[in-house]
Structure 1
């Protein structure tokens, strides 16, 4: 009997409404019921209408005709159906899996997965190689059943803790509460990570139209040689919940850190706290505001003198920077605000920082600082001791106060030190020190300039590993190429040791040493020789400055050193003019002889990895020749002569043995002196009074 279309339509409508709400067994029995009601041909029609196989419908018909009892609630199939679980078939599967994923706990350091990623396919593959046939989904199910889950690392291990850590935390808390109760400003300071201004990937995501992400460079380290960098230095006001960020474009130095605090005080601090007399600063133990940096303290002393504030600084112990308030009250919110957004310009950086807010009322201001803050500035120990710094009784290295200048001279600011450095460089360009005129010095600088630029580019290439990275701001060196040529000439002229140059210029020895090494290498490559000076050898910065300006430190007479006194005509047997001419005649062949001997000793040319010819001599070549002349004159014993030159007898004896062949080769006649002095004091006392041959005027002759 043919089934009408009306019945087929009603059947399809019932299936559409009912079947989505039934489970597998219920659907099968419902379809079988309709098929039995339709009679012959019902199975095929129901299967076609419901979109299932005829086998499924017949299976339901058989279940209805068998009259089985209903299944327990919650079950769809009778117990015993399907394959057995993998762990039931293979009893050793779970122990083998645990041994793979827990090699440390199981004491198996040789596990095949000890040093690989424990993704599901790796354990499944290794188990299959061991004879346990298993798939990745089964491995995932077994791991979940045994309490495993996907986890990252947890930053909970803080490493070795400083023994005074908790005590310092409590002390900082006490200082903060005391200043806040008195209505004094309390700020937390730190520098944020340096950022490049380019279309570079930024962590995080932000809402954009679907399929229109911001296109950025495919490598985060690529920024091109013309891309600038910015350094945000933050000041967080704990009392007012206000952030102030100084965005620098040069170097993250101590001078930049204090300049940021100074700009905050001028823009916000003195307006928000007009009656303030003290300022508390909490800072990390490292970075540009490290408690070890003398420049940090010197710049703070200058700031205290300008503002009239008693500046108290409390540093957090090492490895505890995350407890500094600025980290989680300001910097974390700034990072969240510019997530997924490339920093392409100064405007983007400033506006993004200034737009940072929180539900607790945080407000942030940002300004651009285009000042120059070069690295390499040094503050001597003597200069630090003159600053009005008072260490606290508790943890004095981390807690100290800096008073306004008061009765002492205020500490110089960075711009004042830069001006003093320019004046010192002008002083060092004295023709008497460098042995050449100003025009000759300019010509030498112009000759070396191309090689210096190529050398600097090669050095940058090596430092960045061949990558093209941003260099803007890094060219703001403390010393220009012309300055490096000048100090190298002064140094190679043996006018003074490196320490004197550091004290004169306020630059650390590393910067001075690198400049001399690089310039000396270029001089050697172009076969340019610098003749050592025979005029003076200055061991103190004040002596060199006094000689160049014509006054002693007190501002009266010219300074006369002990070594200059040893050139007295009574001791040398010749006038100072004749001695000067003799030294100029002998110093070049002597230097050549010494270099030839050193060349033989080292078996070749000077290695590039060494100090590049930067000498460590205790006395100059001119002093060696002078000492040899005095030794031949027999004016005193070898021990007395060594005492006068401030060196050991062995060093002096080696110098004399080097110079004697030069004197003999040039047939220099040295006549013995009429008087031999027993001690250094007797010798200096004998020439203390001027005599007729001395250009200083007449006087008595030394007695024997």
Structure 2
């Protein structure tokens, strides 16, 4: 029935395709059925297998139904006006306060007199360079003027410590996790149509195991992590207790000759620079370990730049994705099993201790701490010494030993860190003020 409508080449190719489908003996079978020679069928098979050029168009050029955008020149501008960002688009657009899906866009365009389907809208958007996109977390809030300078300061201190063989750690509290049959973001391989059954709502069960509070310590030089999983409150005492356990179990063995410890931490939370209990607990740790503990805080609003976030916490989240954290043991074991191709090793243990909240630390307690604030942003950068530095008694001992009395240093008053300007600018200012002073004297 089909052969009379085909030319010689089309018939030959059709017979060759049938012969290939039949397999062994297909050429002879097709030749008998079509009443042609086997050579003709074999030639059709060879042409198919040789990949010759297609037969070409049968329809005339520019034939077929016209595209909607060609029939309606105003369709594309109307669509672009609808998908303009809210701050630049039509303030009375019907799509200003709803999701701009292709179906809603098509309905809005049809309401304007442009008959178009959702699929056509999608094709036009892709032609114009649009794509489905989610929000990007890049806005960090109000940036501190010394943001970049603080990052450089942290890098310099970290480099100095690591070159000297001293430990440098990054610390932070990971997101608190609900313990129980709760849904955990992500997917994992399981038998088809057999998902893990979890609770429909993420309401904390007061009678259940409660929450887990992972506090992490990441050793930057050794690429190792230590996570203490708390069960009570995320307080400064809990944070320093985790650091203490890390030092006793790993730090003092990995750095037997260490005399100082550098900690990089966020600006807020249990280890924030405004948290007084954090400083008092670290002072006690400095006395116990005999280490000079230096803390450098990230500038406000830059917590995601802390190395522990993308060197440790992100890998932990990927390791337990899609798995309900049904117990504290599951959380501890999942954290401890976290590894990376770059050699990350993690230790985790449960901290069942209780940590009270609301502990007051007075101004006198802070003043009594053996704490030295650095010249650059002493609120963000400070060192806690194992013993207080009594400069008064040192001066008395110097005088009793017959040494010279300390003399004032007028030149120190020209220090740029004190004046806030370089010495040439200071000299120029002094010259200008000197002339004014002489005029006033006259």
TM-score normalised by the chain length of structure 1: 0.48
Instruction: Answer yes or no: is the 8 Å Cα contact 1:288–1:296 preserved in 2.
Output: yes
Relative distance call for 1:185 and 1:15 in structure 2 (3 A) is: closer
Match of 1:183 among 136, 153, 165: 165
Say whether residues 1:147 and 2:129 are aligned partners: yes
- In 2, the alpha carbon distance for the partners of 1:227 and 1:172 equals 39
Unmatched segments (≥5 aa) in structure 2: 1-12, 23-30, 36-52, 391-442
Q: 1:80 to 1:271 in 2, by over 3 A?
A: closer
Question: How far 1:193 sits from its partner (Å)?
Answer: 0.6
Q: What are the residue-to-residue correspondences of 1:513-662 with 2, within 5 Å?
A: none
Contact residue 200 and residue 223 of structure 1 kept, 8 A: no
Q: Is the 8 A contact 2:286 2:292 kept in 1?
A: yes
Alignment match, 1:304:
286
Q: CA deviation at 1:226?
A: 2.4
Q: 1:278, 1:310 within 8 Å by CA — same for their partners in 2? A: yes
For 1:110-129, list aligned pairs within 5 A.
110-129=92-111
The Cα shift of 1:407 comes to 7.4
Task: Please state which structure has a larger fraction of its residues in helix.
Answer: 1
Task: Report the alpha carbon displacement of residue 74 of structure 1 after superposing the two structures with TM.
Answer: 5.0
Q: Determine if contact 1:248/1:371 at 8 Å carries over to the other structure.
A: yes
Question: Which one has a larger percent strand, Structure 1 or Structure 2?
Answer: 2
CA distance in 1, matches of 2:373, 2:88: 54
Counterpart of 2:179 in structure 1 is: 197
**Cα displacement string for residues 620-639 of structure 1 (whole angstroms, at most 9, x for unaligned residues):** xxxxxxxxxxxxxxxxxxxx
Q: In 2, are the aligned partners of 1:301 and 1:405 still within 8 Å (CA)?
A: no
**In the alignment, is the contact (CA less than 8 A) between 2:170 and 2:263 conserved in 1?**
yes
Q: Distance in 2 between matches of 1:241 and 1:330?
A: 9
Contact 1:103-1:109 at 8 Å conserved across structures: no
Cα distance, 1:201–1:276 mapped onto 2, change above 3 Å: same
- Higher Cα Rg, which structure: 1
Per the TM alignment, residue 281 of structure 1 is displaced from its structure 2 partner at its CA by 0.6
Within a 5 Å distance, the mapping from 1:288-437 to structure 2 comes to 288-406=270-388
Change (3 A) 1:163 1:103: closer
Query: For the structure 1 residues 176 and 74, does the alpha-carbon distance in structure 2 shift closer, same or farther, using more than 3 Å as the test?
Result: farther
Q: Is the 8 A contact 1:103 1:111 kept in 2?
A: no
- Kindly state the Cα deviation for residue 228 of structure 1 after the two structures are TM-superposed: 1.6
The one of the two structures with greater contact order (alpha-carbon pairs below 8 A, sep at least 6) is: 2
For the aligned residue pairs, the C-alpha RMSD in angstroms reads: 2.6
Offset from partner CA, 1:166-200 (integer Å, 9 cap, x none): 11111111111111111111111000011111111
Equivalent pairs counted in the alignment come to 354
Q: Distance in 2 between matches of 1:90 and 1:327?
A: 52
Matching residue of 1:261: 243
1:84 equivalent in structure 2: 66
Shift of 1:289: 0.2
Structure 1, unaligned runs of 5 or more: 1-10, 21-33, 39-70, 409-704
**Cα offset, 1:374, TM superposition:** 1.6
- The DSSP-based 3-state class of the residue aligned with 2:248 is helix
Q: Which residue of 2 aligns with 1:271?
A: 253
Q: Which residue of 1 aligns with 2:224?
A: 242
Q: Could you give the per-residue CA deviations for residues 639-665 of structure 1, whole angstroms, max 9, x where no partner exists?
A: xxxxxxxxxxxxxxxxxxxxxxxxxxx
Q: Give the Å deviation of 1:105.
A: 7.0
* Structure 1 residue 129: Cα displacement: 1.3
The 1-side partners of 2:180 and 2:370 are apart by: 44
1:13/1:84 CA distance change after superposition, 3 Å? closer
- Report what 2:150 is aligned to: 168
Change (3 A) 1:74 1:284: farther
CA shift, 1:17, in A, is 4.3
Shift of 1:12: 10
Match of 2:198 in 1: 216
TM superposition shift of 1:222: 5.3
1:127-138 aligned at under 5 Å gives the runs: 127-138=109-120
Cα shift at 1:18: 6.0
Return the offset for 1:154: 2.2
CA change 1:180–1:199 in 2 (3 A) is same
